[in-house]
Amino acid sequence: MGAASKLKVYNGSSWVEPQSIKRYDGSSWNDVKVSVRNAGGSWFTSYEVAANGGIFIDDFHTTGSNDPMDARIDYATTGLQDGESFPTDGDGNTVTTRPVWTYNNGGSGTSHTSNDRIRVANAGTHPQWRTTNVPSHSNFSGTIVVEARFYITSNSNKDITFAWDCVSQGDYWSSANLDDGYFFQFDDGGSRWVRARRRNSSSATTLGTSSNSAFSDNTWFTAKFTWNQSTGAIKVYVDGSLKLSVTDTTYDDFCPSGGGIRFMAARYMTSGAYNECDWIKVYKE
């Protein structure tokens, strides 16, 4: 399939990709949905073609051999799967290309399941999926939002850890040094709490832990993390319900030099157990 056309409008001095298209009905301006047909014969709305919102998006959806660890088909060609939508970004940031991921630390956790999910499973070291092509986004006023869809099997004996790398330094926990940033743990046991932690190059500090039963295993749940750069307020939601609220101002910029995102588990997970991630979105409110 050919790449989608890029719809542009003339602003008086140059041609630009529109964030929206409006029509005047005699009293007010209203949004108009415009469709564009690409060379492969598929139709896309102007929003899909010209303004895929957000700072960072991935749903691991593939076509053919479009593996998360290889060069990937862009959104203008394939869109998002399962009815998922691009988030509306407060700064007008757009995403057109799916990120490329690396898998670290061996074991059986390399699986890319059903062409639309990534999985970590049993490994002798910390199995993790990592991407570092998160755009720099610093010196702003407002709230960064991360949403992700997770699954933990009931026999899993290792927490899910989802990490924001504010300063990308190297492989997470593969040496003595940690990456600067924040990470969020989802308990593997019967307690099923959510914990927010901050780390630097030598240690990790727990910022807060939710009440028990914050999520359920053996079922998909949507986690949402918000971080207000101005106040340091960090909040964690599960399926729309607030589970944890803490404050930390140590890292007052999100990826000032281009950071990373990680999805990982600890070593020696029970054989047959696994944790999965279906999609991730990052945007500004």
Q: How far apart are CA 166 and CA 14, in angstroms?
A: 35
Tell me the average pLDDT of the chain: 75
Q: How confident is the model at residue 156 (pLDDT cuts 50, 70, 90)?
A: confident
How would residue 126 be classed by pLDDT, with cut points 50, 70 and 90? Answer: confident
Burial of 265 (0-12, 13-18, 19+ CB in 10 A): buried
148, 110: one domain: yes
Same domain? For 223 and 173 the reply is: yes
Q: Based on the domain organization, do 113 and 129 belong to the same domain?
A: yes
Same domain, 112 and 211: yes
Task: Indicate the pTM of the whole model.
Answer: 0.77
Domain membership of residue 1 (yes or no) is no
Q: Could you tell me if residue 3 is inside a domain?
A: no
Per-residue pLDDT at 148 exceeds 90: yes
pLDDT for res 176: 40
Please report, for the domain that includes residue 189, its CATH number.
2.60.120.200
Task: Tell whether 63 and 183 lie within a shared domain.
Answer: yes
**C-alpha torsion sign, points 115, 120, 121, 126:** positive
> Between the ranges 57-61, 131-135, 199-203, 256-260, where is the mean pLDDT highest?
57-61
Residues 26 and 123 in one domain: no
- Give the pLDDT confidence score for residue 101 in this predicted structure: 85
Q: Are residues 252 and 219 in the same domain?
A: yes
Same domain? 226 vs 271: yes
Element of type H or E holding 36:
strand 35-37
Domain of 41?
A: 9-48
pLDDT at position 257 is 56
Task: Tell whether 27 and 66 lie within a shared domain.
Answer: no
Q: Quick one: 99 and 131 in the same domain?
A: yes
Say how many domains are in the chain: 2
Token pair for 186: 């989802």
Same domain membership, residue 185 and residue 138: yes
**How many whole angstroms from its chain centre is CA 166?**
14
Question: What's at 184, amino acid-wise?
Answer: F
Mean pLDDT, residues 213-217: 91
